[in-house]
Amino acid sequence: MKKLQERKLSMYIVVEKGLQGVDDEIVQLIPRYKFYHESLINHIENIKTAREKQEKNITGTAKVKATCREKVIESALEVAVKVRAYAIDEDIQVLEQEVKYSKTKLEDSADTVLRDRCQIIHDTAKKELQHLKPYGVTAPMLDNLQKDIYSFVQLIPEPRLKITTKKDATDELSILFLNTDKQLRKMDKVFEMVRETHKNFYRNYKNNRIVINPGSHLSSVLGNVKDEKGNPIQNVIITEPTTGLNIKTGAKGTFRIKKMEPGNYEFTFAKNGFELKKAKVAINPKEATRVHLVLQEL
């Protein structure tokens, strides 16, 4: 699946979640509301099925290559971060720049470029090995990195794929996305019926319809949790099922989530001795959403 399709699918899922549990009053006002909702669920399931078919058509060689690629990146980063630490301590700027590769940069590298960058990290570390031992760089570590590079190089030629079946799944996905987008455009127009009468519902729906572009700034959430007397509560467990979020409040009862995609979420706040509380939070694009919560003692 293409990156844009992945982002669109994420948007579809958020939109569908936002359509759950809507007041009956709104459902009654919008013709075919339930039909649109159920159809969207079917579209999402069909896309997931087609994606699974597409992914299953990658041969074992391709899977081995992907695993090998991850391993060489991990090995290279382990060495690079230690070399950078030494270079920073000794103020050797040239050396620092030679191995200044982030995980994202390596992951985004073409196969041959990744090979060259990992080799540079290896060769640079080997030259400085005697100085790097206090930082945890050893000869066996560099030998393992070189083996990982060699293994990856052997797999650089593009693996053979079951082209016909894979192309069928790819074409099917394109059609499914076109049909889903077509339905959502209809929903956009129909839902305008409640734009003024049910502003919160309409605003949340439109926010959920946003496709997050790569490199765009995600939203953040800032908040605090206090008791009824206004005292901050530390170590309150905050969870959100759709994202897997699981954090705790700090010493001052505060918490911060740096990156959240826009949409509607339901956070759960739990701590022994206090009531369990859930809070629905609407997160808008590129904004810091603030959440202030009071928990009652049991």
Residues 49 and 65 in one domain: no
Residues 176 and 118 in one domain: no
Q: What is the rounded CA–CA span in Å between residue 264 and residue 249? A: 21
Residues 23 and 167 in one domain: yes
Residue located via tokens 């949790």: 225
Residues 141 and 79 in one domain: yes
Query: What is the layout of strands, in order, in the sheet containing 237-240?
Result: 245-248, 237-240, 263-270, 277-283
Residues 270 and 130 in one domain: no
Judge whether 16 and 44 are in contact, CB under 8 Å: yes
Q: Give the model's pLDDT for residue 156.
A: 78
Q: What is the rounded CA–CA span in Å between residue 79 and residue 22? A: 52
Q: Give the model's pLDDT for residue 240.
A: 87
Q: Give the model's pLDDT for residue 261.
A: 80
Residues 53 and 172 in one domain: yes
With b for 16 or more beta-carbon neighbours within 10 A and e for fewer, the 140-164 pattern comes to ebbeebbebbebbbebeeeeeeeee
Residues 44 and 65 in one domain: no
Q: Give the model's pLDDT for residue 47.
A: 92
Question: Does residue 141 belong to any structural domain of this protein?
Answer: yes
Q: Is the pTM of this model over 0.75?
A: no
Residues 144 and 67 in one domain: yes
**What does the radius of gyration of the chain's CA atoms come to, in whole angstroms?**
25
Judge whether 208 and 18 are in contact, CB under 8 Å: yes
Q: Which CATH number is 269's domain given?
A: 2.60.40.1120
Q: What is the rounded CA–CA span in Å between residue 215 and residue 61? A: 31
Residues 174 and 27 in one domain: yes
CA 164 to chain CA centroid, Å, is: 31
Three-state secondary structure call for residue 17: helix
Residues 96 and 226 in one domain: no
- Looking at 154, 170, 194, the residue that finishes a domain is 154
- Looking at 108, 126, 154, the residue that finishes a domain is 154
Question: Does residue 230 belong to any structural domain of this protein?
Answer: yes
Question: Does residue 258 belong to any structural domain of this protein?
Answer: yes
Q: Give the model's pLDDT for residue 208.
A: 87
Give the structural domain span for 231. 219-295
Question: Does residue 213 belong to any structural domain of this protein?
Answer: no
pLDDT mean by block of 10 residues, the chain; 298 residues:
83 92 92 93 91 65 82 95 94 92 91 93 95 94 94 73 62 90 93 92 88 62 92 93 86 88 87 92 81 91
With b for 16 or more beta-carbon neighbours within 10 A and e for fewer, the 254-272 pattern comes to ebebeebbbbbbebebebe
Please tell me the total count of domains within the chain: 3
Q: Give the model's pLDDT for residue 220.
A: 83
Judge whether 194 and 225 are in contact, CB under 8 Å: no
Judge whether 154 and 104 are in contact, CB under 8 Å: no
Q: Give the model's pLDDT for residue 87.
A: 94
Residues 232 and 288 in one domain: yes
Question: Does residue 261 belong to any structural domain of this protein?
Answer: yes
Q: What is the rounded CA–CA span in Å between residue 284 and residue 91? A: 43
Residues 229 and 289 in one domain: yes
Q: For residue 227, what are its two tokens?
A: 């008791």
Residue located via tokens 């076109």: 178
